[in-house]
Chains A and B, each alone.
Chain A
Amino acid sequence: MSEAKRVEEAPPKDHKPETKPKASYSKWLNSAAVTFWSLVLAFIVGSIVMIILDPEVGEKWGYFFARPGDALGASWEKISLTYISLLQGSFGSWVAFTETTAQATPLILAGLGIALAFRAGLFNIGGQGQAIMGAIWGAFIGFTVKGLPLFVHLPLVILVGVAMGTIWGGIVGFLKAKTGAHEVIVTIMMNYLAVYLLQFLLQRPAFMAPGRNDPIGPVVEWSATMPRLAGSRLHLGFLLALLAVVLVWWILERTTLGLRIQAVGLNPHAAAVAGINVSRVTIVTMAISGALAGMAGVNAVTAPELITSFPTQLSVGIVGAIGFDAITVALLGRSRPVGVLLAGLLFGALKAGARTMQVRANTPSDLVDLIQALIVLFVAAPAFVMWVLPFLRQRKTSRTPKPKAVAA
């Protein structure tokens, strides 16, 4: 959290120069393999936790040596039932599948924001606060402005919510660029400022549902609700998220700004020497990052529920833990737009299936959070995965013979 640290952040994770396409391909393959095995490992650890902590199955392990079949059978049943119901809840039917897309929407949007910041070497922990700002002001426009047609009202809601997310993220970028305040600290604090702002507003008459005394906002107008396919949870938000994937890809790969963002992320000092205005890139990146998180917040207050077809009303926990989930999505997606899309769909599927899993297999839905955290733990520590599964390391050294300096 000092100047020295900022210098140290710069070097890329791998010191090997990417001169030959073959080496680059091998690197990609290796990183894909690590990701795949991280997923496998996370589900294995999840299974172990599940068995150890299940009282009924645990009992059978008590007399394992007398009748091992009992314990193994019960464990297998528990694990398969849990994961099968998880799968059924996320992909088992059309409605389940659309639930997955609905859960994935905010993850993809906010995940893209975090990923974009990562590419510029910035760690945006403030997705939470930015999403809350998007939700507050999106919902506010959604329930105070009345009588507008859908194609005017909904874009207005999105515009305002995204703008507030942009401001909330932009402030961080501004402070970082102008005063050197570390973005990790500032974003954490900005998260809490947003939470308390929300708490404060939810006790003002303008933000309270008519006839209610508890802190909950009014239902947003029909014209501010995302249109959906009838009888499903597939709504416009998911399409917007897909659009955002393309947009972020385009920014990163096809624009000067994207080149600058990546240059600053690789080495801010070199970028400055090359004539890039690092301050401006920092501010713009954080602003775009905040905009995407803000859009995730707008999605939280405009996406229709399955049965009521109304969006969730504004409340203190409206965005959940989206800011932190988004970090996991960006990490699993390796900060690349398509990776974020896939990671968002995976975690969205886990979230969508969690309820079915809880009902059918009697496994607490918290297992999903646990698995999600484990996946990211393993993905972000490839050295650990290679230690557990040595064959991954062997392939790496055999393809690119090099002194073992980087292996640690």
Chain B
Amino acid sequence: MSTTVIPDAPVRTSKTVESPAKRRQRLSSGTLIAIVGLLLAVAAFTSTGTSRIALSDAFDEIKLPTIEVPAVPVVALAAAVLLFVGGFFVAKRVPKPYSTWLGVLAGVALLVGFIVWVAADAPLPFTLTNQLNGTLQYATPIMLGAMCGVLSERAGVVNVAIEGQMLTAAFTASVVAGLTKNLWAALFAAVLAGVLSAVLLGIFALKYLMDHVVLGVVINLLATGFTGFMFHQLVKDSPDLNAVAVMQPVAIPGLSQLPFVGPILFVQRPLSYIAIVSVVVVWFVLYKTKWGLRVRSVGEHPHAADTVGINVVGTKFSSVLLGGVFAGLGGAFFTIGNSGAFQTTGVTAGNGFIALAAVIMGRWHPVLAALMALFFGFSRQLAQTVGPLQTPMPSEFLQALPYLITIIAVAGLIGRVRGPAADGVHYVKGH
């Protein structure tokens, strides 16, 4: 196969001309922001009373005051900010750093406006600590799964199999925890299972040149079938294997005593700390080491990488394997990390696919992908927090939000999403 990379449109040096593609994208994102602003404006006039936002929940040692704000003016202000930013984007070109800041401003306004609207006149206050704490918990497996996705996709191996890898790891962790009663041994076994599934992915994608997406679908099915079979054959009727302990939250001494920040950041389950460290590690190896440079070059242009003497297939394989480590950790979250024994009702619940969405939304960059994972975790937790507040917003909508936003992003309505150039392309030396 010969790689024919379509060159991008010639870069214009003149600052006065805007390319049609950029213009279309600027107009569409501006319009979209303005539409959201309009919706929020409508919401502002339907809300009444005051919103109460609690900064600490009933179990915290240090009580912080519950903030009370009048709903209508705050939501209206947020809507005005969104309309302003949207209108600004539509009307004018904004140079690079300012456009990012405007985007962030719009995001913050949307968040504040939405939370205040949701909490307006609710019987219970909106517990911010609870929300943020739950965000990190929901985001943990997504973040770890996304690290797996980033590593394999940056090396040019499309990974639709994160879900299956995590499922295998979740099952293994549960069984080993039941056998050994040692959670760290179980975690290690989960990592091993993640790596083994990555071996399957690597061998069939790189040696037997199977289509990556087909392979991903097949690995997901294999994982479902295999874990289901093992579970029904060996685990289901064994009380010993079903008694699985869960990793308990660990408070970091000192820091966890801080008001507000403490309970959110420093009293977490071990896997959440591991997830945050993983993001730093993946960023470091991809951007600060020789190996990482090789991985990225292999994903962008394998022929060029081969020409300078890089072992293309070997590099791809090692990156996929390292990805398996994180998929294993992410999978462990669903059994020993959070909820106990394995069930065949789909413990991973589509988190592998959300992780894939986070990879794409995060533009194949570990830190951005982790931020997207946090955002997805936020919206999932929001669906939980909003539940008892009796708001008009159905919780299913909040749960579906990450997927909707991913579609919008992939369609190029907000920002331009562009993956590694040789993602999913087979590489055979000498072709």
Contact = CB atoms under 8 A, between A and B. Distances in A.
Contact of A196 (B224, B344, B400): B400
A152 interface: no
Nearest to A8: B425
A40 interface: no
B168 to A, nearest CB: 13
A408 B426 CA distance: 11
B265 to A, nearest CB: 29
B222 A5 contact: no
Contact of A380 (B153, B214, B228, B231): B214
Nearest to B412: A179
B356 interface: yes
B353 A373 contact: no
Contacts of B210: 377, 380-381, 384
A372 interface: yes
A373 B219 CA distance: 8
A74 to B, nearest CB: 15
Contacts of B207: 383
A54 B209 CA distance: 34
Interface of A: 1-5, 7-8, 11, 49, 53-55, 123, 125, 175, 179-182, 184-186, 188-190, 192-193, 196-197, 199-200, 321, 324, 327-328, 331, 363-374, 376-377, 380-381, 383-384, 387, 405, 408
* Interface of B, helix, strand, loop or mixed by DSSP: helix
Contacts of B261: none
A128 B215 CA distance: 18
Nearest to A202: B396
B218 A11 contact: no
B225 A373 contact: yes
Interface string B396-425: 110110011011001111000011111111
B423 to A, nearest CB: 5
Interface bracket on B: 35 or more
A7 B232 CA distance: 45
A184 B160 contact: yes
Nearest to B354: A192
Contacts, number: 175
Given A185-B360, A368-B225, A373-B224, 11 more contacts: A5-B424, A53-B229, A179-B411, A179-B413, A180-B412, A185-B410, A193-B400, A193-B403, A196-B396, A369-B221, A373-B218
Interface stretch (B3-11, B87-95, B133-141): B3-11
Contacts of A408: 209, 428
B412 A7 contact: no
Given A188-B356, A366-B232, A373-B222, A1 B423 contact: yes
Nearest to B344: A366
B407 A189 contact: yes
B6 A7 contact: yes
A189 B1 contact: no
A380 B211 contact: yes
B399 to A, nearest CB: 6
B368 interface: no
A53 B220 CA distance: 21
Contacts of A366: 224-226, 228-229, 231-232, 344
Nearest to B407: A189
Given A54-B233, A196-B400, A369-B225, A125 B425 contact: no
Given A1-B419, A7-B6, A374-B222, A184 B425 contact: no
Contacts of A363: 233
Contacts of B4: 4, 7-8
B357 interface: yes
B160 A370 contact: no
A53 B233 contact: yes
A125 B421 CA distance: 22
